[in-house]
Structure formats: C-alpha cells, structure tokens
Structure 1
Amino acid sequence: MERPELPPQQLHAFVVLAEELHFGRAAARLGIAQPPLSQQIRRLEDKVGHALFSRGPGRVTLTPAGRELLPAARRALTDLADGLAAARAVGSGRAGRLRIGFAASLALTVLPGLLRTFRQRFPGVHLDIHEMTSAPQIAALHDKTIDIGLLREPPTDETELGFWTVLDEPFVAVLPATHPLAAQRVVELGQLADSPFVLLPRAVGPQLYDQITGLCTAAGFTPRIAQHAVEWQTVCALVETGLGVSLAPASIRRIRLKGVAFRGIRPGTARTRVAVAWRRDDRNPLVGRLLATVSRDRPDRLQAR
C-alpha cells in the first residue's frame, strides 16, 4: 500500500494551526489569508483520510488523529530543515567529506599545519586521510578514489591533473653514523660513488627516483642500489644498520635515529618539489576550499603549474 505524500507546506500549515488553534492567528503567522490556509488543511485531511481539527464557533481543537500526527509532522519538518541546511553546507564547501592522499614524508613538513588550519576553518568537513606514495596517488586521483594528493615530484606529462608547488627543499646525504664521511659537514656527491645505496623503488615515485639517480650521474657515477624501501623512515633504518647510504629530502632529518647522520651535499642546487594535486574537472567545492587554504597560508612558496 502506497503511503500518501504529505507536502511540507501542508505540514507546516498544520503545525502552525495546531499551535495557534485559531485560523486567523495561524494565517497571520504564515503570512497568508484564511481561505488558502483552510484549503491546505482540507487537502492534508483528505490525504490522511480523517479530520485533524474539530471546528466549532470560536474554537478549534485537535482531533485524536491530529494529536497523533502533530509530533510526526514536527519531526518531518525538522528533518527537512536539517537536510536542507546540510545540503547547503555541502554545496557551499562548508561540510562533506574530502579524501586526501599524502606521501609519508610530508607528515614531517606541510601536512600537519595544512590539516590543522583547514579543520579550524571548516570543522564540519570530514577528512579521510590515506598514506600513499606518489605514483599510487596519481592513479587514485584518476580513479576518483581520492580528491586531493600531496606528493613529491609531480609528473610533467599530466593534462587531467593540476599541480601547485607548496614547498621545495634541498637534498641531504643519509649516512650511517660510523661512515667515514659522517665526520664532514658537507659531502661531495662523488664521494658516495663507492657506497651501496638504499632508495625508494622507482615504481612508487618515478620522478623522485630519476632525480636522485640523475644527481649521481651528474656527479660521475651510477649508484649501486643494495636495497629498496617504500618509506623514508625505513630507508633511514636500513642506513642505520649499515646496508648503504642514501640521498633524501632535507625534511627527513626530522626522523631521529642515533645511528644516522644527515649531511649537506655539494653541489647543493638540486631541490625536490612538494605539490598539491587535484583533478582539473573536479567540481567538489571542498577541493577549492583546500586549495584556497594552501594559497592563503603559503603565498610565498606557491607556484602554479
């Protein structure tokens, strides 16, 4: 059996009349004349199949059916108002869900401040955070399983994605504390030619991998890779055990390991980029809100590409 549809306008008229118990006062409160109010109540009673009010000279009272309907009508109007408010909040970018992918090393730099500021400005937004390396982030953006990426060394051949650089930082040499070069403040890259390397696999960050190996090539050697590790913290831990050395973004120095030394490198002109990434055709207003937060908080470092 189909449930009768009860229009919100009729429910609102019913609730106001139930509260006033006077057609004149209820019509004035609704901003309409008495005849249209009477018509709305009649239509509602026709849908319910029973009278909702007893009408007598100078008095209006709720019938048992009206008393039964009143709390449900109030709940329905409240739910509708809440739903409209929530829809407006989502539509304006003040609420909803934003899915963000981030490279683990960015938890040491831009991620905490960015998320803290965004949450303060938009407390109604649920942030769904996913730790993933750069290449999986690019795939997830294309697959629409994340809305925003925070990654290193964005690809240069993307047309569907947009990238903004939010930070660039130099590279450092990552050495076992017992390594002879750890006694130096700055390491010439060519001095690492005979050491085995621990690097991230190329598959998880092709641009960053190529940049690191390219630095070695420019210094006159091809790095001999002894071990791969997916996260920088693991890279540092393997370096600490003496498995090799590495080149890493300078923020990696915030990983505190007693057996690891971080040293500047020469030449020191090479830098690694951190970028925020998004789909250019994404119409989710929350994406724009986050990009605006990035732009507002880091205007001196933000470069559009």
Structure 2
Amino acid sequence: MPRLRYFLNLAETLNFTEAARRSGVSQPSLTRAIQRLEEDLGSPLIYRDGKDSRLTALGRDVQAEFMRIELALRNVREHSESTTHGRRRILDIAVAPTIGPAPFAAFFDHALGELPSVKINVHQLLAGEGADEVLSGKYHACILPRAPRPNPKLNVVPLFRERFLLACAESHPLARNDVVSTEAIAAYPYVDRLACEFHTEIIEHLMDHDAVMQPRFSTEREDWVQQMVAEGRAICITPERSTVAPGIALRKVEGLALAREVVLVTVSGSGTPLEIRKIAQLAARHDWT
C-alpha cells in the first residue's frame, strides 16, 4: 500500500524529490520503493532522462489501476467509519410524542439518500424532555412542537406550521360540516389527549365558548386516541398533520385559531457533528408542504 501511494505521487509530479515530500519519506526511500515495484512487475514504470522523467506505457496503465484501487480503499474506509459509533455516523433524533410521522417520511428518505454514511435512530421524547436533552448530548437533535427558549447554544430550524382541528370519524355527523361549533362538539363524547403541549389552551378555548368537556377517556397515547376517534367512539382536537389512523376526518373549529410551529433543534457551533449540521441544512431547504 505505501508503494501504491508513492507511485501515484510520482506519476502526478514526475519528480522524485516532490513525490518523496508528498509521501513523507526521503528521496532514497521512495526511489528504492519504485525500483522494487518495477522488479516485481518485471518492467520499468518511468523513463529517467536526467532531470526529465515520464511514464512508460506500463506506468500509465499501472497509474490508472492504482487510482481505482485507491478509490476502492477510500470507499472501504468510509464504510468502516460509518459503523463506528464514536465517529457519530449514527444520529439519534428524538421526536415529541404528539408529532406524527407523516410529514417526515419523505424528509428522512431524502436525508438518507444525501448522506449515505449516516444511520438515523428515531426516539420518542419522554415526559418533560426537550431541548435540554440536545444540550446534554443525549440526542443529536430533537423535533419539538414549539421553539424552546432562546439560547445561543441552540440552532432552531422552523419546519412547518399546523393548525389544531377537530378530529372525528369520516362517518361521524360532525364530518358533514366544514366548520364545527363548540356547542356541537360538547354534544359528543370527547377523548382527552393528555400529552398535548397545548392541552390548557384547547380546554380554555372550549370553556370560553361555554363548552365544558367532561371526557370519560383520557390517555397520553396518540395511537389510542386516534383509534377511538377513527371508530367513531369519540372526538378530539388534534394537530392537523399528526393523524395516521385511517378513517379520520378533520374539520375547523369555530373561533379556534390555535396553531403550532414544529421545529428541529440541534446544538449550534462548529463542534456539532458535520452530519447533523447537514441534516439541519436539508431540513431548512425541504418543502414541508
């Protein structure tokens, strides 16, 4: 392998002194290595004519083959590095439990195509977790339903804005309306999304419009909420892009202008792994519509 690099440096410079300098060896050492290579191959690789040198026909063929070998070795090295956790090739990204996967499938597929040496592990944030877990190094990035408090150590990339809408089964009577009144909402069983970061704002809006909800079923599990709704057993108010269960219709709620802006949060600065900086750049350019 050293002789491969020595020869490629010599073939590029056609100067033994410069080739030795690039190779980090003395000129006599490089000369001996080239001579041994020629002996192994049984033919000269370079014409030496005083200060002028040029590759022989075999030398040009060997140069082309050695360049292919060097490229193959570089690819092997990159594959090896991609499995080394310490090089941060595996990226841990945590997502708030109320954020649905639908908007992210195309983005992550695109990101993996742009970053072939990266593997992405997606985790669910636990209750009370957020941007602090990025600062602590637990995760490389977090996807949150609202921007954290301003912090110069954090890089916040806005992704998309989504409204809070009424979710009901497609066969539900409320699905016949484009806009549903709070009075109509109060007439049906309501499932309470306990993990919702805007839970207080939603309840206050309903109460301000004389709709006092008394849910008999509450859960932090979004999949359980959506299953109840899809089967027509209850209704709820949910972010418009979080639904994944089939059979759910979304309708505007009269007077409710509540919305959230989903963001990607990473640590700022040059110390951030290159791969996560590229993820943030791709997210900023992605068409989230």
| Native 8 Å contact 1:98 1:126 kept in 2 | yes
Structure 1 residue 246: deviation in Å? 0.6
Partner of 2:237: 247
Instruction: Report the CA distance shift for 1:118/1:15 in structure 2 as closer, same or farther (over 3 A).
Output: closer
Report sequence identity in percent.
13
Picking from 131, 142, 160, the partner of 1:149 is: 142
Instruction: Report the CA distance shift for 1:183/1:60 in structure 2 as closer, same or farther (over 3 A).
Output: closer
| SS in structure 2 at match of 1:295 | helix
Partner of 1:212: 202
**Is it true that 1:120 corresponds to 2:110 in the alignment?**
no
Structure 1 residue 248: deviation in Å? 0.7
| Native 8 Å contact 1:152 1:273 kept in 2 | yes
Instruction: Report the CA distance shift for 1:200/1:29 in structure 2 as closer, same or farther (over 3 A).
Output: farther
Picking from 230, 236, 255, the partner of 1:267 is: 255
Give the root-mean-square deviation of aligned CA atoms: 4.5
Q: How many residues align?
A: 245
Structure 1: gaps spanning 5 or more residues: 1-10, 18-25, 43-51, 62-73
Partner of 2:283: 294
Structure 2: gaps spanning 5 or more residues: 8-13, 41-65, 83-87
| Native 8 Å contact 1:170 1:268 kept in 2 | no
| Native 8 Å contact 1:195 1:224 kept in 2 | no
Picking from 244, 260, 268, the partner of 1:280 is: 268
Partner of 2:159: 166
Structure 1 residue 292: deviation in Å? 1.2
Picking from 246, 263, 270, the partner of 1:256 is: 246
| SS in structure 1 at match of 2:198 | helix
Separation in structure 2 between the aligned mates of residue 176 and residue 279 of structure 1, nearest angstrom: 41
Structure 1 residue 134: deviation in Å? 7.6
Tell me the amino acid that sits aligned with residue 133 of structure 2: A
| SS in structure 2 at match of 1:255 | coil
| Superposition TM-score, scaled by structure 1 size | 0.61
Higher helix share: 1
Structure 1 residue 229: deviation in Å? 2.9
**Is it true that 1:199 corresponds to 2:192 in the alignment?**
yes
Structure 1 residue 15: deviation in Å? 8.5
| Native 8 Å contact 2:156 2:264 kept in 1 | yes
